[in-house]
Amino acid sequence: MNDIHRKHYKKKRYLIPVVLIILLVVNRLSLPYFVKNYVNKVLADIPGYYGQVEDIDLSIIRGAYTINGMYLNTVDGNTELPFLDFKKTDISVEWNALFHGKIVSEIEMTDPTILYVFEDQQDTTGVADTEDWSKALTDLVPIDINQFTIKNGKFAFLQLQADPNIDLHLSNVELSASNLRNVVEKTRTLPSNIHATATSIGNGDVILDGDMNLVKQIPDMDASFSLENANAKALNDFTNYYAGIDFDEGSFDLFGELAIADGYMKGSFKPILKNAKLIGKDDGFLQTLWEGFVGFFKFVLKNHKKDTLATKIPVEGNLNNVKTKIWPTVTRIFRNAWIQAYNDVVDDDLNYQDATEGADKLNNKKTKKK
């Protein structure tokens, strides 16, 4: 080999690695841009919704990417209403699972907000479809989800037609879920174990425990929850709008169980008012008269030993037509007042099987009608 060919070979030998390195660097720098455009296109094309992301950071070595500033709004004509606002979502490969031959991911959300507007959900004839947005979001994670964490979340439930607006919210939400698989299951399973804590309106303490399948249009679940020591005055907007009463004193507890299977729910709620006083100093004459009338029955129906007004409300039915059993609810008020006061605990007398049986009966009735 002559000197000219030797020099040419050396230049070629160094040129190829340099070109490859440049291509890798360019690809690494441009990849977040292409990923961001892809995600924005997915969010913009969901029927009845519109969303975008501010930025996406990639960490190749860690096997992760971080989505910053993702939002999704519901669209009604020319109006957009906030729905999802995810400040920071970190999605990464769970390295521990790799040693067991599994490729799964971890998701950690920081400061997420979910805003549910009652009126926005009443018209089911619109184009917005829960299945569309939930499927679009889960498709952004191409591998099974094993761990899901929420830090400092907020879930708000608003009714804008009320005056003043009704705002029932949970803040400081801390949630951890394991085995939250984004895989469509043909059988009824509850793969995710979930534990959550939060602060309610009135600074009540909320605890949720249960098993769920969240990757469905309507999640299946078998869960119990408790809300304790909430200031009853925080409920005044709600109780004023629906019952024309407000609280001047007292605390509010709520214990419940929910089982949902294929959109069929069976559950119970046990509200307990403690040391409640209805008539406030600033109430008008008619409101004072009405609250005095209600207060008389509260006096008659409360458990004087524990100073509680309580009942247990059974609910059952398809989520589009959930029914409450009136007579059991009323008779249980008397039970609490005159026979035995309800305890501040979850009764644990419902399970997932109760909901599956109800769903099967409903489906059988629909089949017979056809």
The confidence band for 165, taking pLDDT boundaries of 50, 70 and 90, is: confident
SS3 content of the chain, % helix, strand, coil (to 5): 35, 40, 25
DSSP-based three-state secondary structure for 6? helix
The confidence band for 180, taking pLDDT boundaries of 50, 70 and 90, is: confident
The confidence band for 218, taking pLDDT boundaries of 50, 70 and 90, is: confident
In this structure, of 49-63, 113-127, 221-235, 265-279, the range with the lowest mean pLDDT score is 113-127
DSSP-based three-state secondary structure for 328? helix
Domain span at residue 154 reads 1-183
Q: What is the pLDDT of residue 129?
A: 54
Element (H, E) at 332: helix 326-334
Indicate the pTM of the whole model: 0.78
- Preceding amide of 17 cis, omega within 30: no
In 3D, which of 229, 313, 315 has the Cα closest to residue 270? 313
For the chain, counts of helices (H) and of strands (E): 8, 15
Q: What is the DSSP letter of 342?
A: P
Q: Tokens 């490969």 sit at which residue?
A: 93
Spatial distance between the Cα atoms of 342 and 348, rounded to a whole number of angstroms: 13
User: Is position 94 within any domain?
Assistant: yes
User: Is position 82 within any domain?
Assistant: yes
Chain-centroid distance of CA 192 in Å reads 14
User: Is position 3 within any domain?
Assistant: yes
The residue with greater pLDDT, 97 or 153, is 153
User: What would the pLDDT profile of 100-155 be if each residue is shown by its tens digit?
Assistant: 555 667 889 999 999 988 764 444 444 455 556 777 777 777 667 788 899 999 99
Q: What is the pLDDT of residue 347?
A: 92
User: Is position 28 within any domain?
Assistant: yes
User: Which two three-digit tokens encode residue 293?
Assistant: 């009338």
Element (H, E) at 353: helix 352-369
pLDDT over 60 at 3, yes or no: no
DSSP-based three-state secondary structure for 173? strand
In 3D, which of 1, 17, 19 has the Cα closest to residue 9? 1
User: Is position 295 within any domain?
Assistant: no
* Beta bridge mates, 79: 76
User: Is position 40 within any domain?
Assistant: yes
User: Is position 13 within any domain?
Assistant: yes
In 3D, which of 264, 208, 202 has the Cα closest to residue 239? 202
User: Is position 261 within any domain?
Assistant: no
Q: Show contacts of 29-37: CB within 8 Å, 24+ apart.
A: 31/58, 32/56, 32/57, 32/58, 32/65, 35/65
Tally of structural domains, the chain: 1
In this structure, of 119-123, 202-206, 229-233, the range with the lowest mean pLDDT score is 119-123
